[in-house]
Amino acid sequence: MEILAYGVQTDERPLLEAAFAGRHDLRCLSASLNRDTAPLAAGVPAVCTSVNAELTAETLKLLAAGGTRLIAQRSTGYNNIDLKAAADLGLTVSRVSAYSPNSVAEHAWGLALAVNRHLTRAANRTRDFDFRLDGLLGRDIHGMTIGVLGTGRIGACFARIAHGFGTELLGWDIAPNPDCLDLGMTYVDRDELLTRSDLISLHVPLLPETRHLIDATALALMKQDAILINSSRGGLVDSAALVESLRSGRLAGVGLDVYEEEAGVFYTDRSVEGVTDDVLARLMTFPQVVVTSHQGYFTRTAVGQIIAATVRNVDDFAEGRTGANTLVAGIR
């Protein structure tokens, strides 16, 4: 079966091509899938998309009109896909339901350590042979109270690492995770977690009820010198409210691997033309903010698992099967 893969990163391409070799005819594009690039898939029965694809009803109609029957997304999250429109159009949609939780949890801790110890500023200084320590004072993670919003597979990994640092663990979720309880985590309501925590990390899915989980009210509850980390979904944080909180002198550090308007910006080179998103541009002017481009999943282990699951999803579709990764079972 012919497949057009969108949003393929340079390091990802050889892994994708090797996995599909001898099974399906794969072509790779660096461009993300949206209404403008959808016509490139005309006559192709399957597309393979990245998390930043804009799979609106309009995009899906264009794909369906061109003969596409399968959308195989290379991610766990699927809030970027209009599933109702896909079902109405008879499209099959699959995702990757799980991959290495360590990849995202470790990256979240990388962001936490970077903002706490001012590593980006320090590295930039020493490249200019400025070896002063002014403004680089951090805090011990040991002894901190760590708040984990969402204690599923990734949140639990984040908590295990936090436990290794010697921290007090607070958790918030719809139900306690026994693995986290074994670490000594205490489950509390969201407001108590925000009020008590020195460092807060987000690991919940983006749903209507979790959109802007961290809004102006939530930010006001946090300690003046709290650290906020988001490696889950950008829409969990009200970015405009975060800017205002930082402008008022609150929060010692913010680490973001995701941003609510990242589609069309992340995974692209904007070094020449810059960005037109004023909120993102403003966020990146604060010295205590570190932003990475949705790369938490981007380890050889995790990408390998994602690709292997995607190949299985395509094989399932080609052979008329559905599975745990099928979000919408369309007309074949």
Catalytic residues: 233, 262, 294
Total Cβ atoms within 10 A of residue 23: 13
Q: How far apart are CA 95 and CA 92, in angstroms?
A: 10
Burial of 319: CB neighbours in 10 Å, binned 0-12, 13-18, 19+? exposed
Q: With the CA atoms of 315, 317, 322 and 327 taken in that order, what torsion angle do they form, in degrees rounded to the nearest 10? A: 110
